[in-house]
Structure 1
């Protein structure tokens, strides 16, 4: 059963206050299936939020996560707790504010104790950074909680640490040859049209193509001789492509230079 946020607040009060005679010290945890993740710019990756209740029952949960929109974007949410709770607030995210919210309640029946998965979040890595976090802001309202019998039993809510590296550059020949290339993609991410340009310090035969992450050719942009110190610019229509990461590959002989094209609708 899906419910609105207004109904959520009413149901939360019932779930927290309406079950009498039970109280416990804080003992439960919210955590991710991994504490640290390293991905490349343009990659999509999945993380799961798990509850460790330490064998304590839970009648209500509320999850509020924040992330830095300069580096991360949510492109999908999948609720994994449908069998545990009767009433659900539809999981939602806001990439302009960098937040994820969801909640669920169970009245009149005890949920399973122990460890269980709650939601899977799919992120898109937008830009390189040594460290960015997905975290529970615990000093504001509303905040993440696990409750039963009028008591918030959430003792700890772990952060997810994400390192984003630059998209790869691969040279089958001498890797230093890449220094003679300039490959640019903008705006990145893009929702309608992306532009790709390249410039070479030496005249060469080149092929410029766009591939999906499975290696399927999306479009060949250029195949021919490129002149010295001349900018070649191309328009790539991305409005019909699914949100995610694609690779723009510039090939000269046995040297490849790649840049991620991020599509975000």
Structure 2
């Protein structure tokens, strides 16, 4: 498969009769030098092992809890986290005194990035007061927590 890579060379100093060259270092330790004004296009053939970074799966190496967004929030916020392997995960929200407000998730999840949304309600599905809340994510006996602010 041929891949054409467009090159844009901005040569602002051509008015001063400067020449620009492209040096290509080959596998056999030789170097080829070509004047840039001689290049019409560059084609790479039979490429192996090169992919767009977006196409590569991102390996999660550690259990990580991200900051909720938006923060401060009203009426809902998203809590995102990453787990490095399949595990039982628990996501809960507590008030500043440590009282459980709501358990958002308690299930086994596969490795990767996950997210859950909290709608600002308690266990009885009643809206809670404005204030600082703590969210925790527990996976494999490791608990991570962060603060978030609900404003009305």
Deviations 1:9-59 (A, max 9, x none): xxxxxxxxxxxxxxxxxxxxxxxxxxxxxxxxxxxxxxxxxxxxxxxxxxx
- The structure with the larger Rg is 2
CA–CA distance in structure 2, aligned partners of residues 238 and 224 of structure 1: 21
- Deviation at residue 219 of structure 1 after TM alignment: 1.1
How far residue 213 of structure 1 moved from its aligned partner, in angstroms, is 1.2
TM-score by length of 2: 0.51
C-alpha RMSD of the superposition: 2.0
In 2 relative to 1, CA 184–203 (structure 1 residues): closer, same or farther, beyond 3 Å? farther
TM-score (norm 1): 0.30
Q: Distance in 1 between matches of 2:120 and 2:99?
A: 15
Residue ranges of structure 2 left out of the alignment (5+ in a row): 1-60, 122-126
In 1, are the aligned partners of 2:65 and 2:145 still within 8 Å (CA)?
A: no
Structure scoring higher RCO (CA < 8 A, sep ≥ 6) equals 1
Aligned ranges 1:83-98 → 2 under 5 Å = none
Give the 3-state SS of the residue equivalent to 1:185 in structure 2: coil
Give the counterpart of 1:251 among 121, 138, 148: 138
Partner of 1:238: 120
Considering fraction of residues, name the structure with more strand: 1
Per-residue deviation, 1:179: 4.0
For 1:108-257, list aligned pairs within 5 A: 179-229=62-112, 231-238=113-120, 240-257=127-144
> Number of residues paired by the alignment?
87
Match of 2:3 in 1: none
